[in-house]
Amino acid sequence: MKENLSPSQLAYREIMHLISEGEYRPGEKMPTLPLAERIGVSRTPVTEALKRMEAEGIVTFTLGSGAKLINPTAKEIWDTYLVRAHLEAFGLRLGFERVTRPVVIQLESYVRMEREYFETGEKINCIQAGLDFHRELAKASENDRLISYINNTLTASFVYLVLLEPARHRLASQHPGQHQELLDLISAGKKEEAVSFLERHILDSCRINIPGL
DSSP state of 165: S
Confidence of residue 148 (pLDDT cuts 50, 70, 90): very high
Q: Work out the percent of the chain whose per-residue pLDDT is above 90.
A: 77
Confidence of residue 2 (pLDDT cuts 50, 70, 90): very low
Which residue has better confidence, 50 or 169? 50
Q: What residues contact residue 104 under an 8 Å CB cut-off, 6+ apart?
A: 183, 186, 187
Q: Please write the tens of the pLDDT for every residue from 38-93.
A: 999 999 999 999 999 999 999 999 877 789 999 999 999 999 999 999 999 999 99
How high is the pLDDT of residue 64?
77
Check if the beta carbon of residue 49 is closer than 8 Å to that of residue 19.
no
Closest among 82, 54, 75 to 66, alpha carbons compared: 54
How high is the pLDDT of residue 175?
65
As a whole number, mean pLDDT of residues 152-170 equals: 82
How high is the pLDDT of residue 208?
82
Check if the beta carbon of residue 162 is closer than 8 Å to that of residue 122.
no
Question: What are the structural domains of the chain?
Answer: 7-69 (1.10.10.10), 74-209 (1.20.120.530)
How high is the pLDDT of residue 171?
45
As a whole number, mean pLDDT of residues 172-198 equals: 89
Check if the beta carbon of residue 197 is closer than 8 Å to that of residue 181.
yes
pLDDT at 143 over 50: yes
